[in-house]
Amino acid sequence: MVDIKGFVDSSFIEWEGKITTVLYLPGCNLRCPWCYTIDLVENPDKIPTIPWSKIRDHLINSKTWVDGVVITGGEPTIHKDLPELFAKIKAIGYRIKLDTNGTNPSMLQQLIDEKLVDFISLDIKNQPDPEKYSRAIGLEATEFLKDIKRSISILLTAGVPYEFRTTVVPNIHEIKDVQNITRHTGVCKGYVIQPYKSAETINPKCSNMKPFDKFKLGSFLRTAQRIIPHARVR
């Protein structure tokens, strides 16, 4: 089964309105310059694996007060045996939220078809322009964009609760990017703008930058709300 590298027994912020246990999976196929989960993405072998038995026992013993499990990373969908982990968690009786960068639409479809996932949060890193997207993911984006667009289409039609998210980063994102992202999604159930937070990052040029102020975030939000009225900043 997929290795689990991080484990938060209870969180109030990862799934709105729910107390969750959060599991962090290793590795990622992207290299977003502002990513702060550096070891999880670049050196996952340095992080000890947490035995499934420890997580299983916590989940069994926490059913009266933990509402769900959040699977995040890294990028969880790079792991072929992800459905096996979801099935084990479901068997204990939990609802599951998945965080993903949207690059594996086949995995999303499988998890949806097998009724293994209850909420999907999909990061849209930038407007669907290869040059802009490449800048946001730290890699040539052309090969990923087709899959990400397919993942967006799957969520728009599958009937599983979801949200799209964009982390807005100084020197990478402009108002026009949010405008074109929301034009691409069209009206949808949920769109969240997250401000970059100052931290050590994969690309040192993005480390400890000054985040956007509340006025700029307000401009991003108003732009998104022209197409998605209930878009929010989180």
Q: Which residues are near ligand SF4 by CB under 6 A?
A: 28, 30-32, 35, 37, 41, 73-75, 101
The residue (of 20 and 166) whose beta carbon lies closer to ligand SF4 is: 166
| Buried b / exposed e along 139-164 (16+ C-beta atoms within 10 A) | eebeebbebbebbbebbeeeebebbb
The residue (of 59 and 136) whose beta carbon lies closer to ligand SF4 is: 136
Cα distance between residue 161 and residue 156, in whole Å: 9
DSSP 128: S
Minimum CB–partner distance for residue 6 and ligand SF4 (Å): 12
Q: Where are the beta strands (DSSP E) in the chain?
A: 6-11, 20-24, 68-72, 95-100, 119-123, 162-168, 191-195, 232-233
Minimum CB–partner distance for residue 158 and ligand SF4 (Å): 21
The residue (of 85 and 136) whose beta carbon lies closer to ligand SF4 is: 136
The residue (of 21 and 166) whose beta carbon lies closer to ligand SF4 is: 166
